[in-house]
Structures are given as structure tokens and as C-alpha cells.
Structure 1
């Protein structure tokens, strides 16, 4: 493994470690979102704690983190550091490293979010068509259930299922394995939400009306 690949891996982790919700909340609201709502440093808790505008900004930046991290593989390819066949595996590797950075950010005492938005950014880089379907699934489940956690879990499961059934034609077998591993990761990071869903205690998000603050 070349030094440039190792450096790119470190950069992917640092990109994922950017605690968007924490820094944004502290800079513009004087609030650490980890001390409010669910205590999670992610876009969902930002929506609930700071409102739609803040939540949208945090969401987009967290998606961008995953997209940029995965695309570090393209830079290595253009620098002739990796081969064409290594692009997808390297995108997966750097994307996963960024998700780990989001979960355990070095810039926020290793207390981060759940990785869904950063995961989406990685999928957008690797397979934009499948990412589009995942977004659609997320929106449909959210509108019908008003549970963001359930929407995230179902949308994540949609990715490996699309790969298994070759919805977009023959795919890299590594994407199937990667998809199910990440689905397991999302289930793990949402295990408390799943418990609340089963008990009927999970908070629903308001749709079509202003949330009082």
C-alpha cells in the first residue's frame, strides 16, 4: 500500500470527523446539539433541536463529507496510484472510513452521529442511480410513517437488495457485500430507535406544520 493511499485514508477519516451539527450549533445558536433532544450529533437531531434550515445545512454538509471522501479514489486514479479495477474498492474503503469518522469524530471527543447522511454521500459517489432510489424510498417511508429512523433503515436496506436483483444491470459483487454490511451498521447505530419503535415510543416528525420551539 502506497503512502498516498494511506494519506487519502487519513484524509477520509478527517473529512468524516468534521462534526457539522456540533460546530454549526455552537457557531450560530450557542448550543451543543448533543446536550439536547436525542443527544445525537447528526442531522436528525439538528432538525429537531435547531429547526429545518439548520438541519438541512447539516444534512447537506454531512452528505458532502461522504461524497468527497469516496471521490478521493478518483484523485488517486488520475495520479496513477491505483488501477481502474481498484476504483470501486477504494471508493468503498474511503467511504467507510468517512462513516467511521462521522460515528467517532476525533474533533468531537469521538461522540458523533449515526452515519446515514455520510453513507448517502458515499453511495452517491459509487452508484448515483441506486442512491436516487434510496432517497425516494426514504422520502416515501418518512411521509407514510413520519419516523426518520425507520426511513433510514429501510432506505439503507434498499441498496443491497437492488444490487442482489441487478436492478441496474450486473453489478460489482463487492457492492452487495458492502451493502449488507452497512445495513447491519445502520441497524446497530439505530438499535435504541428500533427498541422505541417496537415499544411505540419513537418520536414522529411533524410534516406540513410548523414545529414549536
Structure 2
């Protein structure tokens, strides 16, 4: 039993127009009352044409299938890149929700060490390893780089603050303000990235 691919290849041969064409040719040949050698020549000629036609149909079908597969691979890759940037924005947004609550330094430190540090490091690693030149659009590259910069600045700011020998309340407030500002930048870059992506790939 033929699969869908096989049916696609043989579908042209089973069409009503092709069947009628073959019958018309056979009828026309019969009217001429050809000798056996002449009939053999006609059969050979028709067979050659059919072989060429069949080879063309198969080749054309294979090319179309290869194009479809290439387009699907490109779309899958773009969706994976989209997921990397969205994941980074999700982490930046969660950080902003934390700093908006202005938690004591001890609570923030525990939250960072237990949760946010690994999430940020994972997102930064993914953003850095993402081949920006394969994003397929100048704006996507710009917004990806902007997201990477915002995430890097947030991580560096926290690491610098927690690495200090002593904590000063005013420095904690300034760090929260910096983190909030960087998260706003991340939100901007993510929003623009999403808009361009959807315009290019149609919410794929």
C-alpha cells in the first residue's frame, strides 16, 4: 500500500485527463493500421516520452519536498531562538517583581543564591551561545543583543553588591533601582523582538 509520498508521485498518472490522453493516442494509432515494426516504434517513442515525463514529475516532487523540509527546519530553529530570548525575559521580569517588593538584604541574598543566580547564569549562557547571525533579521539581532546586555548588567550588579564586605542600606536601594531600570530595558527589547518575530514568521 502506498504512503502519502507515493500517492503524490503517482497521482498525475491516475488523473482523468491523462487516461483520456492515452486512450486517444492508442485510438489514433489503431486508425493508421500500422505494421508491427511501426507500432513498435510508436510504443518506444511514447514510452520514452512517458519516462521523461515521469522522471520530471518525480524530480519536481522531490525538490518541493526538500524546500518544505528546509523551510520547516528554519522555522524550528527560529522558534528555538525565540524561546531562548523569551526565557531570559521571564527571568528578568521575575527579578523585577522581587525588587519591587524591596526585600531586606538577607531575603534578597537567599533568593539570589537559591534561585536567581542559576537562572540568570543559564539564560546568559544560552543568549551568548545563540548564533545571532542566524536570526535572519537585523532588528532581531539588535534586540537579542540588547536583552543580553540587560541580563549581563543585572547579573554583574548583583554579583558586585553581594561581593562587598559590608552591606549599606542606601547601596541596596540603589541596586534595586538599577535592577528595575535594567529589567525595563529587557522588557523593551523583548517586546520589540516579539513584534519583529511575529511579523516575520506570522506567530509561528
Larger Rg: 2
TM-score (norm 2): 0.25
Higher relative contact order (CA 8 A, sep 6+): 2
